[in-house]
Structure formats: C-alpha cells, structure tokens
Amino acid sequence: MNDKIYDIIGIGIGPFNLGLACLTEPIEELDCLFLDKSDAFDWHPGMLMESTTLQIPFMADLVTMADPTSPYSFLNYAKQMGRMYSFYIKEDFLLLRNEYNLYCQWVVQQLNTLKFSTNVEMVCYNDDEQVFYLTCLTTGTDEPLIYKCKKVVLGTGTKPYVPNALKGIGKKATHSASYLSNKAELQKKKAITVVGSGQSAAEIFSDLLEEVDAYGYQLNWVTRSHRFFPMEYTKLTLEMTSPEYVDYFFDLPLEKREALLQEQKHLYKGINSDLINSIFDTIYAKKLMNDVDINLRTNSTVTASSIEGDKVKLEVFQNEEEKYYQHDTEAVVMATGYHYQLPSFMEGLLKHVQWDEKGRLRANRNYTIDKESKNIFVQNAELYTHGFVSPDLGMGSYRNSYIIKEITGKKYYPIEKKIAFQQFKVSEKEEIIKEEILV
C-alpha cells in the first residue's frame, strides 16, 4: 500500500471530474488523483452520430467559465489542432458531439493526474486518521491497489434507465446508450420503435428516418409527452442556469422543488427546435417520393411488453383518451434517459451519508453529501437539491470552482454570485409579514 495521502481523489472521469482535474492541476497546494474503471475516455459513444451537437455553446467546455485563460479550453484545443479558423468560419457556437469527445480526449492526454483501468471496489473512512481508504483493482490484471485521501469527489455519472414496462423483452430492446453499436442489427428489422420524449429520442428517430426508404422498415416514435416539446432557449429562461437560481431552488421546501422539476422538464429534456423542424421536413420529403411507413404517437405511455415470435408487443396507454392499445414492432430503442445510482463501493460510507425523506441522497449547498458537510463531494447527483442545472455541462465549471473553494478555503476561481437581470428571491427588506387577524 502506498502511504501517500492525496488531498482529493475523484472517482469517475467524465466531463465534470475531468474539468475538476484541469482546474486543480495548476494549484500547487493540491495533490489530486482521478480514477476510472474504463480503459480510456469515451463520452456517450452510443450517441456520437456524425451531425449531432451539444445543446450548449462551446464556452461550456471543461474550464472556460471558470478560467478563460486555461490551456485546457476548447479554443486552445482548436488552435492546437489547426482548426481555429475553420471553427471561426463555421459560425456556430454549438459543438458537434464527436468534436466535444475528441476535445476531452485531447485534454486527457495533457494531464498526469488521471488513472484509467482502475476499478474502485470499496471506500472506507478512518476516523482516527481522518482519511479515506480506497480499495481498487486494476482491470484486466486484478492487481490490488489501495489509495488514501482527505476528500472524495464522486463523478461516477448516471446509469441507463430501463422502465419496468420494458424489462420483459430483453435483447429486443436497446438503450440509447448503445444505439450506434446496435444500429446495423436494428435496421435488419421490419419495424423499429423509438420510445422516449427528449433530445436523444429525436436524434435516434432522425438518424433512422434518413435511411427508412433504403431499408424499408416501419419506423415508429412513441412518447408519453403531450407533444414533441422544444427545448426552451429564451434568454431570460437561460438565466435560470445561474448561481443565484441554484441558491433560490436549494432554499425551497422539498415538495416545491419536486413540483418545479416536473414543470421544468422542457428546460433540460426538450428537443432542439431545429431538429423537430428537420424531422418534419424529412418525413414530408420521404412521403412525397416513397410509400414509407412512419408513425408518431404522443400521449402514449408503454405499460407492459412481451415477445411473441419475432414480434414485440407493447401495451400502451393513451393518457388523454384514457384508452389502452397494442403496438406491434420487432425492435425497441429506449431513449428513456439515465438515473443516478449510488455506487456499490459506497457501502462502507453509508453511515456518513445523509438522505432526504424519500431515501435519496441529500446534498448540502456546497455539493457535499456527508453529515459533516466537508468530505464527500458529488458531481451531477444533486438534482433534487440544486435543480435541473445539475447535469448541465455549462454549470460544471461553476460547481468545480465551488468545490475547490470549499476544499482549500481559497477562491482560486472567482465564483459569481449574481449574473441574472431578474430576481428570484424575495429579499428581507421586501418581505411583508402578515399576521393572522383573529375575529
């Protein structure tokens, strides 16, 4: 066992912890290590279609919103790759997903604090030493490793979600996370059904739509949403992706926060309006020249599924008519999103972690989840406490700046407190206290 004690160990190397690695790298007082069980960085490879883009501007890279001068910015990557002028001429703030993935892989090559092929098996806290012990295995060789650190940052990400109603059809269902690797097999089927309501569902439907006449399959899209909701990009709404809205949301009662998350789904789970229009135009053009079989169903929740021969039978409930109907297909693509799951290696820390009334992780305002509010930090696991901005790549630099300040006690990266033109909270000076009048 190595006796070295790291200041921070980040578990999981996705964009958020990779951004933290970038921002901590120049801080001399911090000795950091970041671990991941994968052999290399590869961001959502199942959804890296050629023309798909991020839904946020390129400034929401790993570092720019915290440190525009960082050598790990996207613009520096573009310059180093000889693509600065091409990107300038392109005149599009939105990065291609493939380009974002390549950018992150380039950053990985610049850092020496990252260690892949390392599976964290168990994390425990030694109260006497006040350090964490991480028991790990090197993937492939099962070489045991033990690391020690003062602070842990969980960046293990979310896991593909499979609804109970679709669990009975096994390999007939493909989650969007592995869409590209299964696309060739999907296109051999006579009928494909995409289930889901967000951007991933739209991107997959659009991708399959492009070749629907070449392969001759029936293409269906089933969503429980009332309509194909566009993502809202108006600027006053975008101000809700701000530090002060996080403060506002955090201070609300749990019931109010949960209700707001339901109402705000179109703010982070909607579809790019250009893509919606492109899908319509493509269907129009395809049907003009070919007898293609394309079906779109809204207000439809899949309630059960079964296999009968080569067919998948979906029981679907039409929410507004309150009627059930059967939908037959041969393959299902589940664009059903991702849910957070507490990693199994956290079992040794359960007594230190705090939970809300519904048994979910309860994060403190400073992004810790431990009862002491100082040792275990999380990335993208604070949806119910910090709001819909939790998975937003654009807020990653803000959260990392906050985490660094909490760990070091220093503001290495200035943390904006107010950026919005609008005001979310009622101030103490404005508040009117109404006393109940007794008759």
State the pLDDT at residue 49. Answer: 93
Looking at every residue in the chain, the average pLDDT score rounds to 94
pLDDT at 438: 54
Cα separations in angstroms, 37 against 11, 123, 142, 297, 378: 9, 15, 12, 40, 18
Classify 83 as helix, strand or coil: coil
Beta-ladder partners of 122: 135
User: What is residue 293's three-state secondary structure?
Assistant: coil
Residue 195 token pair:
């289930």
How far CA 308 is from CA of 193, 194, 293, in Å, comes to: 16, 19, 22
C-alpha distances out from residue 428 to 130, 277, 423, 433, Å: 40, 46, 13, 10
Per-residue pLDDT at 169 exceeds 60: yes
Q: Positive or negative, the Cα torsion across 76, 81, 85, 90?
A: negative
- pLDDT of the residue at 157: 87
- Rounded average pLDDT over 170-196: 96
pTM for the model: 0.94
**Residue 411's Cα: distance from chain center in Å?**
27
Helix, strand, or coil (residue 273)? helix
Give pLDDT, residue 142: 86
What are the residues whose beta carbons fall under 8 Å from the beta carbon of 285, sequence distance 6 or more? none
**In the predicted model, is pLDDT for residue 311 greater than 80?**
yes
* AA identity, residue 329: T
Judged against a pLDDT cut of 60, whether residue 8 lies above it is answered with yes
In this structure, the strands spanning 118-126 and 131-138 are antiparallel
Q: What is the pLDDT of residue 436?
A: 58
pLDDT at 83: 95
Look up residue 325 and give its two tokens: 């109907």
Q: What is the mean pLDDT of residues 46-56?
A: 91
Instruction: Out of 148-162, 403-417, 425-439, pick the least confident.
Output: 425-439
Flag whether pLDDT at 268 surpasses 90.
no
Domains present along the chain, CATH in parentheses: 5-158+340-408 (3.50.50.60), 161-231+270-334 (3.50.50.60)
3-state secondary structure of 344: helix
- pLDDT given at position 88: 95
Residues 56, 393: contact at Cβ < 8 Å? yes
Strands (E), 162-209: 173-175, 191-195
Query: Which has the closest alpha carbon to 275: 48, 55, 98?
Result: 55
What is the 8-class DSSP label of residue 410? Answer: S
Contact 212, 201 (CB under 8 A): no
| Position 437 pLDDT exceeds 70 | no
Tell me what pLDDT residue 397 has: 97
Pick from 34, 140, 16, 122: which is nearest to 393 by CA?
Answer: 16
Position 176 pLDDT exceeds 90: yes
Query: CB of 361 within 8 A of CB of 156?
Result: no
Contacts of residue 14, Cβ cutoff 8 Å, sequence gap at least 6: 43, 155, 156, 157, 379
Position 134, amino acid? L
For residue 373, is pLDDT > 90?
A: yes
Tell me the H-state helices in 229-379. 235-238, 243-250, 254-263, 265-268, 273-289
Predicted confidence band of residue 417 (pLDDT cuts 50, 70, 90)? confident
Q: What pLDDT shows up at residue 388?
A: 92
